[in-house]
Amino acid sequence: MAEGKEITTISFYLRNIIQFLRYLEDTPPKQCRLRRGQFKSVLRMVQKQVSSLACSIVTHQLKVKARKMESIVSRQSLRRCQERARRVIPELLTQMMTEGNYNLRDDFYGYFSAFVMSIYGHRPGVLTNMTVPEVEAARQAPLLPTETGFVITIDEHKTNKDVGGAQIFLTCDAFSWLEKWIQVRKNLGPKNQRVFVTKGAGPVKNLVRYFQTAWAQMGLPGRPTFTDIRTAVSGHAKNILNKGSRNRLARFMCHDTATADRYYAFMLDRKQARQMREQFAKVTATSSPPPPPFHMPLAWRGTEGPGGRGTPAQQTAIGTPLTRRRRRKRSSQ
């Protein structure tokens, strides 16, 4: 910490040390003279340091989330992004198809990624790893009269081992953009099967730069990254939708809400905090129903004393239910 490193970085380094020590303990080299007990002593010391950072890490994560939420991309900006990209993308495709102006390729990449990301909040790897066969497979699926678009399933992305393929639903108009681009793509000499190609054989590396350029050309505020867009989509979904809808949305965007809820459950904005305050006020509201009336036993009615139970002498004379049963039993004999 004296070197200015973040608390999360320090925790990461310490956990790496723990993994290395466990590896040495299991497979010590021949030159190692440390005994197993000494390994365990060092491990306990490092683990204690990691445990001591727990509270600081949670506090740091809350502050980071608060800074993100202060500069979150608004819903209005996301909606304007979709509207303006929907107007520009067909124009770019027309110029590339009719005039052969392939220098507009990067502009198309930027506008198309802005359109898709502002809706779904996917990671950029979902687009950069999309392949032509995956688009063709979506087109081959029969389209019913009541259906209005196609679903593209991308197998290769960051979290495919946990959630499977990532999906993108495109309306018929948006899907036709991809089909036209695939026709333009054939003239660029592609060296792989990816939809978005480069001059080399690898995936697109500068997609965020193309996105930010398109974002600025649309006159939208800020200079967000794909992570900012993903955070905005997830955050707005949490504030607007119920838990079930939010979980389905998170599943579709290959996002796990458990980690976010673990640390950021209490990060509320002013409106949410005011609503929470109103719910607390209902707990102590004076309009609660009155308690049920107290019915005095017949033996106590007409007596004097606190609570209408009579004086101590009267209570002794009346006796408890057990003593009264004993009296009735003796009188019957």
88-126 per-position pLDDT tens digit? 999 999 999 888 777 899 999 999 999 999 998 888 888
pLDDT tens-digit series, residues 238-282: 778 777 777 777 777 776 656 555 544 445 556 666 776 676 667
Look at 141 and 296; give whichever has higher pLDDT: 141
Phi and psi, residue 217, nearest 5°: -65, -25
Q: Does domain 75-267 have CATH number 1.10.443?
A: yes
Q: Are 262 and 58 in contact (CB under 8 A)?
A: no
> What pLDDT is recorded for position 259?
53
Q: What is the pLDDT of residue 214?
A: 95
> Is residue 236 over pLDDT 70?
yes
Q: For 128-157, what is each residue's pLDDT tens digit?
A: 999 999 999 988 877 777 788 888 888 877
Tell me, what's the pLDDT at 46?
Answer: 92
SS3 147: coil
User: Terminus-to-terminus CA distance in the chain, angstroms?
Assistant: 90
pLDDT at 235: 78
Query: In whole angstroms, what is the distance from residue 43 CA to residue 25 CA?
Result: 10
Q: How far apart are CA 260 and CA 254, in angstroms?
A: 14
Output the six-digit token pair for 240. 């607007």
Q: Of residues 293 and 120, which shows the higher confidence score?
A: 120
- Residues 255, 261 contacting (CB under 8 angstroms): no
Q: Could you give the CA distance from residue 300 to residue 292 in angstroms, rounded to a whole number? A: 19
Torsion sign (Cα): 166, 172, 177, 182: positive
At 268, list the tokens: 């509320």
Indicate whether 293 pLDDT > 60. yes
pLDDT in tens, 179-206: 999 999 988 888 899 999 888 888 888 9
* Euclidean distance between CA atoms 166 and 183, whole angstroms: 24
d(CA 128, CA 130): 6
Rounded to the nearest angstrom, the gap between the alpha carbon of residue 212 and the centroid of all alpha carbons in its chain is 23
